Amino acid sequence: MDRKNRTSITGTEEGFRYLAVFMLLFFLPLYVQSQIILPYSVCENDPDLGLPLFISRQLDYYTNSSGINNDERTGELQLDSTVMYQITDPFGGNYISIPFSKVQYLYTSQKTRLEIESVRESTWVPSSKLNKSFDDHNRLFAILAENYDRELKSWVPESRSKIFFRGTGEDYDSLLIQIWSDSTFTWLDLLKIENIYNASEQLTESRTFIHFEEGDQLTFIDYHSYDSQGKNTTIFSYILDSTGFEIPISKVENTYFLEYLIESITSTSDLQGGYLPESKIRYFSISMTRYDSIKCYEFSYISNDWEIVEENTYNYDAEYRLELLNQITYYDGNINDHKVDKFTYLEDHYLNTHLQLEGASISGMEIPKFQTRFYYDTSTVPVEDPNWNDPYLKIFPNPSNDYIVLNGAMNQLVKIIDSKGYLIGEYLVNSEVYRIDTAFLSSGIYYLQIPGKKAVHSQSFIRS
């Protein structure tokens, strides 16, 4: 069934609905059968990265975070941690990065990974934890989510999920999501999905059960139809009333060119045997796994035509890695918002940074808002080389009093570290000649850290 209808049903608890949406978003890629992605996943964002779902799953490969040693990457680096920084410009001209949140990855066994998120206050404070378990086929089959109780100073359960796979592939027979009840100290069913397949192992029917605290239940049914080539061309969605009667909700019609999904139209039921157009997504592909652009439309009954509401364009580097995501949203045919996501990589396909910029359409400039940095197993990749000198980078004056000037660090995120290893400040260098105020520093030796291709390099300067 259409996820928009699935998540717009009004329940008795706002938290129930939010958790249902979150977990459905997390498990949505598992719904994929012969399609590249489901139509309605494009204009919805991943709750963790703020990116379209299929893009965030694509980036999983680059960090090796989708499993514990993928078959083709056995023995390579594993993600150690990610740190998100909020970028501000309080003084005008000098962007400062402030640590905002951190996720630490702990590999407790060959098939289990812990992800512990912390928030930055005066120091890092634990916030939430995900315990992810993988099976022998490297498939994520169970998640336990916990929150940190600051008063109890301990972890308390929040929700858990489990997938029951079908054979050795990615298809699954059922999925169960439960939440923890503080009042009964038991796990309560929140959502369950049961799938039915035909003799050709195609998903033909999917039933979704949403449970509420008072004991009420909503039941949805999706019926999938396929063409002679095995493409999922139509999905009809229904909700069951109290007598078990199927009330039509929506239908999704998919159009393909060769192996490519090129268009998906969602229509809502008029409850009189017909359907009214609601939304449309057009896919412009350059390969089975990469897109040039994706455009989302809504049907206007005023103009009696499709009106664009969102446009996503994607740029890739020479090694076919996602380099830039350009997202424009529209309102009444005019640009409403403009966001840009930029990605840099270390050697191979390891993500180095993810920079989020906003406001480009309003000011004509890209304004950085957040940056996420990815850190890997430091026993294999050197993190810092204090003896490194870049012949193209100049720092002057050195020694300095009130300021230093950088020449040759354009478009780099530069850190200042003191002699004890503490982070003093971060600056996004937006010009070839860039000035940093050092008047607030005490006298001593400091290190300027700059990301390189294989390491984060350091170059010293003296505050006299």
Q: The CATH number of the domain where 415 resides is what?
A: 2.60.40.3080
% of the chain exceeding 90 in pLDDT? 30
Domain of 418 in residue numbering reads as: 384-463
The token pair that represents 12 in the structure block: 């008795």
Residue 431 has pLDDT above 70, yes or no: yes
214 and 296 share a domain?
A: yes
**pLDDT for the residue numbered 365:** 66
Total domain count, the chain = 2
Boundary-marking domain end, from 376, 396, 428: 376
**First-residue to last-residue Cα distance in the chain:** 67
Q: Are strands 291-300 and 79-88 parallel, antiparallel or unpaired?
A: unpaired
Supply the pTM of this predicted model: 0.69
| Cα dist from 130 to 22, 58, 61, 119, whole Å | 14, 20, 19, 15
Give the integer Cα–Cα distance in Å for 159 and 145. 5
272 and 341 share a domain?
A: yes
The 10s digit of each residue's pLDDT in 141-173 is 999 999 999 888 888 999 999 999 999 988 999
Decide if 220 contacts 236 (C-beta within 8 A): no
DSSP single-letter state for residue 60: H
Give the integer Cα–Cα distance in Å for 21 and 178. 13
Greater pLDDT, 101 or 430: 101
Residues 36, 169, 137: CA angle, nearest 5 degrees:
120
The 10s digit of each residue's pLDDT in 297-334 is 999 999 999 999 999 998 888 888 889 989 999 988 88
17 and 136 share a domain?
A: yes
278 and 336 share a domain?
A: yes
Boundary-marking domain end, from 344, 376, 408: 376
114 and 38 share a domain?
A: yes
Greater pLDDT, 139 or 43: 139
196 and 248 share a domain?
A: yes
81 and 124 share a domain?
A: yes
Q: Which long-range contacts (CB under 8 A, 24 or more apart) does 383-388 make?
A: 383/455, 383/456, 384/449, 384/455, 384/456, 384/457, 384/458, 385/455, 385/457, 385/458, 386/447, 386/458, 386/460, 388/452, 388/455, 388/457, 388/458, 388/459
| Cα dist from 150 to 128, 156, 185, 382, 432, whole Å | 11, 10, 19, 35, 46
Buried b (16+ CB within 10 A) or exposed e, 402-417: eebebebbeebbbbbb
Greater pLDDT, 57 or 21: 57
300 and 193 share a domain?
A: yes
Q: Are strands 124-134 and 112-120 parallel, antiparallel or unpaired?
A: antiparallel
- Which residues have a Cβ under 8 Å from the Cβ of 201 and sit 6 or more positions away? 166, 171
The residue with tokens 């049914």 is 221
